[in-house]
Chain A
Amino acid sequence: MTCLLSAEEVTVRYGSLAALDGVDLCVHDGQRHALIGPNGAGKTTLLNVIAGATKPQRGTVRFAGRNVSRLGPAARARRGINRIHQRPAVFPTLTATENVVVAALPRVTADPGWWPGRRRRAARHRAGALLEQLGLADLATVPAGHLAHGQRRQLEIAMALAGRPRLLLLDEPAAGLSAVEVGRLVEVLQALPRAVAVLLVEHRLDLVYALSDAVSVLRDGQTLAAGTPDEIRTSPLVRQAYADGVA
């Protein structure tokens, strides 16, 4: 089976530090793929490379059968790579609804016709549904800058979903969420259409095992192991890496 997304031999250096050192990754269509590893392993850097926000010194990124290495983040988003950031990134002076509307606009399908405001109306419709789904309906008119951290994260997830992703990049979506919010997040991710692939960076292994059907382990910028959740859970190598990372 071919990969929806494949990263090949990706290397990113910051000075003498190799944040990524020849990493390979393959995410299949509709796969729920978790990316784990200790702090500083290069997980966020890999997501940045896939999203087009960081240019690697070496390596290729292919998406849906095309080499997208030369495309910027906006072009990749329009092809269906959407993301949430490790530090929630929202538009602080825009309301929650406006945030999701903006995120939905590039890939919204409006009713046919010529009158103005159609696209925005379609986007607003979609935004309302997503805010509802993420439990933010009551905060629809609040400027995003006034939201609490967890709410901002939920909002950014709504924004990423609004872009109709084929591949969703999630960087620690559960960090800083309350138990209720984590429960809702799990529900939302489980309710995603089967066609949406997810690349999930997460420190909470219970969530990783609950949500994913493949796991890759990064450490010091290299792929340490890859396999099914069961294989990873029992791998002595991974246990060792985590023990080192924590120590």
Chain B
Amino acid sequence: MRDRVVRWARGAVAALVLAGLVVAPWVVDDYTTALLARTLALALVGVSVALLTGVAGVPTLGQTAPYAAGAYACAVLGSRISDVGVVQLAVAAGAGAVLAALTVPLVVHARGVIVLMITLAIGELVVTVLGRWRSVTGGTDGLAGIPAVRPFWGLPAFGSDQARYLYALVVVATLVGAVLVLLRTRAGLLLRAARDDETRLRASGHRVPLYLSGAHIAAGAIAGAAGSLLVVAQQYISPADFGFDTSALLLLGVVIGGTASVGGALVGAALVIAVRDWLFGVLPGHAPLVLGVLFVATVYLLPAGVDRVRGRWRPSGPPHRPDAPAAPDQATVAELRR
């Protein structure tokens, strides 16, 4: 009974938020609309972070890497070959997936804080490459003047911030819907099981590394698709869009949103990005400080969200005894609090 009320309330809130998002561009000014479109792109990256961190139990600071790969693939494609939105989306998702696939061997066998460090390094490496590879990426200046996209062949190109925003909204809603459906299938069940107790899952005969690789690649594709939305929203990208601060903010947003929940990740990531953009105007130069405080406060006040990430999030403790499978322990939060 209570469950049903909760589910109903959640559905109602989701519907309200969606309705608000649809009418938003007619309520706010163009500048804010453009900002909202960019926030949508980042929220979608947040969903990919939640998929890895919360659902599969692989915490990540590196989703900016496939995000950047998707964005640059889309920008290059948009400037030189095709201005069709769905083509750009598919290519960007493919680029994100390929980049994720290349990093699978680095990520899938690592555990705990090590994964965070490796993914962080991958993200930084990608930013460095973007800054150096001038002929393709425009170096640290980035790529500007990317032509406006048309959603489909034969349709006119987007001429307004409203249109670009609505395109981003449709894409995000579709992809999030797809992720939610996917999580209800066997794939979602097995990922949750892997997060709970990987050793137990192996003992039942499951090929856990294969599942984690699949999740990593799927999350890369989603982040890549988000990259193409960033290009649509800004028509300009530079390595600064994909820095460490972005990954950290996204992880923060996902933790605030409750890690394991896709809807929570969307809201959390959007909230954190909005706070950053708003602070940027109100307190120029102090945004990182405020967000740092927010991060610490989150870890203290929302142990439940953090705790759900246990499993792989666990820092190197005593070696995992095969016969002593993961007991729900509180060490995780305590470790984070240090």
Q: Which residues of A contact B (CB under 8 A)?
A: 44, 47-48, 51, 53-54, 72-75, 77-78, 82-83, 85-87, 89-94, 98, 101-103, 105-107, 116-117, 119-120, 145, 159, 163, 171
CB distance A53 to B328 under 8 Å? no
CB distance B203 to A89 under 8 Å? yes
Chain B residues contacting A85 (CB-CB under 8 Å) are: 200, 203, 323-325
Closest residue of B by beta carbon distance from A159? B204
CB distance B192 to A106 under 8 Å? no
Q: How far is the CA of A98 from the CA of B208 in the complex (A)?
A: 17
CB distance A91 to B324 under 8 Å? no
Q: What's the minimum C-beta distance from A244 to chain B, rounded to whole angstroms?
A: 24
| 26 intermolecular pairs with C-beta atoms under 8 Å apart | A48-B322, A74-B206, A74-B208, A75-B205, A77-B205, A85-B323, A86-B323, A87-B327, A89-B197, A91-B192, A91-B196, A91-B200, A91-B201, A93-B308, A94-B193, A102-B201, A102-B204, A102-B206, A105-B186, A117-B186, A119-B186, A120-B185, A120-B186, A145-B328, A159-B204, A163-B205
Known: A73-B203, A103-B204. A117 touches B196 (CB 8 A): no
Partner of A48, one of B185, B195, B201, B323: B323
0/1 string, B74-97, CB within 8 A of A gives 1: 000000000000000000000000
Closest residue of A by beta carbon distance from B209? A74
Q: Which of B31-46 contact A (CB under 8 A)?
A: none
Closest residue of A by beta carbon distance from B322? A53
CB distance B200 to A44 under 8 Å? no
Chain B residues contacting A51 (CB-CB under 8 Å) are: 203, 322
Chain A residues contacting B195 (CB-CB under 8 Å) are: 93
Q: Which of B319-336 contact A (CB under 8 A)?
A: 322-325, 327-328
Q: What's the minimum C-beta distance from B204 to chain A, rounded to whole angstroms?
A: 4
Q: How far is the CA of A87 from the CA of B324 in the complex (A)?
A: 6
Partner of A106, one of B185, B199, B206, B328: B206
Q: What's the minimum C-beta distance from A70 to chain B, rounded to whole angstroms?
A: 15
Q: Which of B50-90 contact A (CB under 8 A)?
A: none
Q: What's the minimum C-beta distance from A64 to chain B, rounded to whole angstroms?
A: 15
